[in-house]
Amino acid sequence: MPDILHKVAIKASPIETYKALTTLDGLAGWWTNETTGDSATGGIIHFRFADRGFIDMKVLELDPGKRVLWEVVAGPDVWIGTKVSFDLAQDDDFTIILFKHQGWKEPSEFMHHCTTKWATFLMSLKASVETGTGAPFPNDVHISNKGD
């Protein structure tokens, strides 16, 4: 099965980076400003993108400063059951993130789109942690001709 894989370095400690992935405020700073729910292990985080859609993630694993694993429990049909993970490692002043969105059944055009869009959100995460200002929805970088 095809996977979406990314790698990005963030000039911050793993714990600072981890906060941006595991607190509602942190997530709202880079993915979507409409982030609610329960970000503890076993909880469900609700990501809302106004009339563009929604995603609910169940938090499967949290290892502070090291790893975050979510499962998509609501959202686009082809996302349901897929898993999103962030593995963090320190390299001097940086945190290296290995990102994976796995479980896609086929390499659809939508998967191509999601790969590129994840990259822009990971760059938003990097900016959010490094500078305090990311580009979360609705101020996200548009890559398509459909407003997303």
* Residues of the shown chain interacting with a copy of itself in the complex, contacts defined by CB under 8 A: 2-9, 11, 91-94, 96, 98-99, 107, 109, 111-113, 115-116, 119-120, 122-123, 126, 141, 143-146
CA-CA distance, 35 to 24, in Å (whole number)? Answer: 6
Smallest distance, a copy of itself to C-beta of residue 60, A: 21
Exposed, middle or buried: residue 90 (CB in 10 Å: 0-12, 13-18, 19+)? middle
Smallest distance, a copy of itself to C-beta of residue 92, A: 7
* Beta carbon nearer to a copy of itself, 39 or 118: 118
Smallest distance, a copy of itself to C-beta of residue 18, A: 17
* Beta carbon nearer to a copy of itself, 50 or 141: 141
CA-CA distance, 60 to 21, in Å (whole number)? Answer: 13
Residues 6+ apart with CB under 8 A from 85: 61, 67, 68, 69, 70, 99, 100, 102
* Beta carbon nearer to a copy of itself, 42 or 91: 91
Smallest distance, a copy of itself to C-beta of residue 21, A: 16
Smallest distance, a copy of itself to C-beta of residue 134, A: 15
Residues 6+ apart with CB under 8 A from 145: none
By C-alpha distance, which of 57, 53, 79, 80 is closest to 70?
A: 57
CA-CA distance, 106 to 148, in Å (whole number)? Answer: 21
* Beta carbon nearer to a copy of itself, 28 or 114: 114
* Beta carbon nearer to a copy of itself, 33 or 85: 85
